[in-house]
Amino acid sequence: MEPVAITLPILIPMLLSLVAWLSRGSAVTSRWLLPAGMAALLGAAVWLFSIINAAPGPIRVDFGGWEKPLGISFKVDLFASIMVVVAAVIGFAGSLFAVSEIGRIIWRKGYGTFFFLLLAGINGAFLTNDLFNLFVWFEVMLMASFAMLVLGRRRFVFEGATKYVVINMISSFFFLSGLGLLYGKTGQLNLDEIALGLGNAGGDPVILSTAAFFFMAFGIKAGVFPLYFWLPPAYSNTGFATAAVFGGLLTKVGVYALFRVFGGAFGFLSEVTGPLFLVVGALTMVTGVLGAASQFHTRRILSFHIVSQIGYIVLGLGLFTQGAFAAAIFYIVHHILVKTNLFLAAGAIAATGRSERLEKLGGLLKGAPLLSFLFLIPALSLGGIPPLSGFFAKFLLLREALREEAYLYAAIALLVGVVTLFSMIKIWGEAFWKETPRPEGIEGYRIMQIVPIAMLGAMTITIGFMVEPLFELSGRAADQLIQSNPLYVETIEE
């Protein structure tokens, strides 16, 4: 049963993307196929997670019966299966929002097809254990995201898309070059085999330059300092459902690849990469949050906060302990749910207040009290207010930083948390609290837009009340991740 469970999260969206393309002319089917397919994907993801959770270790599938050094294999550990479940949740929430947001013409152009293909690419990137296969899944994901981005046809969409496409192509070439060098050196593409083959090749110039290529490639995708400039223009000029799914998932695929490669197979470089990731993480946090503080456009504020939050996660990678990895995995899950929710809330705010600029918004607390309440949940969670998920994510990461005596980084993280809260209060004060500047009053949002926001908000609250079992789970995921580090394998064998 395991091979079926492992391939379903890719097979379902791939097959449904074909169905969506064939049925794109029908107004009802093209719309409702998307959430229905995402619900099926969520079911498959939960099934896969339950199998992996019950298994003693990661499960591997070799496609076509080709054994490990020859064929392409998928390896699913807890981290990967958690990410697949979260991706399916975000896909479901985003598709519900898209049903009410996206116009009929854009559905007819195949919006559903690209949405499904995006999820197939993301799941492939999470599940694969082969570097070239990872490159291919990245490209599947990127092509789908290029198409989704420009289908929105908003005013400046082509500008934002140009920046996004060009920088992501450069990132792909970095990845391909690093991959080629590594293959020339080790003759392997399988991450496990590379880890075993490299052993302790720390000082080798080819390995170091490969690591630099991979850092550039995944760093651009993750949006770390100083490689994040493409992100705010692209995410703030497309459709809201699109931006929510991108904001939740795309940068996190880059972060996931950073963890897989530098936390696993390249773990023997941790003396070089650890301090690098600490500095990069801190700079990402600070520049992201300052960028957000200077903006007065809801989605641009949120886009800069994606950057800032990525910094926290990269900090967890830089600390390089089992506890820090566990905290980072917990943080990723919290961050994906909250960030998507905030982007969807920005969509509902724009539908209600007819603008995304804070100076043109206002009066939403009176006009849309339910939306105000639902916005507060992810906003306060992002700022780290207990008992919401963000508080525990930050607490676990800070505890680990203090344990590792990285006091400076802990202080920066705390300070950035305060400024994050300030940004959220800025949106609250301007959009909800102050009187509306529009004399004709405000219009309502559609109820379908509130459903996914309420769903994700409920999950944020649930995480806040279930920290103990969830942190235990991310601890086990971190164990499995660290065990793919060759140094760890060597010490066990000795």
Residues that bind other proteins (CB under 8 A): 132, 135-136, 139, 142-143, 146, 150, 156, 158-163, 165-166, 169-170, 172-173, 176-177, 179-181, 183-185, 187, 189, 232-233, 236-237
Residue 162's Cβ-side half-sphere holds a number of Cα atoms within 13 Å equal to: 3
| DSSP three-state, residue 355 | coil
Smallest gap from Cβ 114 to other proteins, in A, equals 12
The residue among 182 and 377 lying less far from other proteins, judged by its C-beta, is 182
6 exposed, middle or buried (CB, 10 Å; 0-12, 13-18, 19+)?
A: buried
The residue among 170 and 451 lying less far from other proteins, judged by its C-beta, is 170
**Using CA atoms, how far apart are residues 50 and 45, in angstroms rounded to an integer?**
9
Q: How far is CA 58 from CA 188, 192, 253, 311, 465, in A?
A: 20, 12, 19, 28, 28
Q: Where are the alpha helices (DSSP H) in 294-321?
A: 298-319
N-to-C CA span, the chain? 35
Burial 353-377 (b: 16+ CB within 10 A, else e): bebbebeebbbbbebbeebbebbbb
Closest CA to 284 of 320, 309, 303: 309
Closest CA to 320 of 281, 282, 275: 275
The residue among 146 and 395 lying less far from other proteins, judged by its C-beta, is 146
The residue among 49 and 174 lying less far from other proteins, judged by its C-beta, is 174
- Which residues lie across from 394 on neighbouring strands? none
Smallest gap from Cβ 130 to other proteins, in A, equals 11
Smallest gap from Cβ 102 to other proteins, in A, equals 20
Smallest gap from Cβ 133 to other proteins, in A, equals 10
The residue among 135 and 246 lying less far from other proteins, judged by its C-beta, is 135
Q: Which two tokens stand for residue 190?
A: 């399988």
Smallest gap from Cβ 127 to other proteins, in A, equals 19
Smallest gap from Cβ 71 to other proteins, in A, equals 11
| DSSP three-state, residue 16 | helix
The residue among 120 and 313 lying less far from other proteins, judged by its C-beta, is 120
**Using CA atoms, how far apart are residues 330 and 313, in angstroms rounded to an integer?**
9
The residue among 160 and 318 lying less far from other proteins, judged by its C-beta, is 160
Smallest gap from Cβ 142 to other proteins, in A, equals 7
332 exposed, middle or buried (CB, 10 Å; 0-12, 13-18, 19+)?
A: buried
Smallest gap from Cβ 98 to other proteins, in A, equals 22
Q: How far is CA 367 from the centre of its chain?
A: 32
Smallest gap from Cβ 461 to other proteins, in A, equals 35
DSSP H/E element including 61: strand 59-62
- Give yes or no for a contact between 237 and 154, defined as CB atoms under 8 angstroms apart: yes
- Give yes or no for a contact between 94 and 245, defined as CB atoms under 8 angstroms apart: yes
The residue among 142 and 368 lying less far from other proteins, judged by its C-beta, is 142
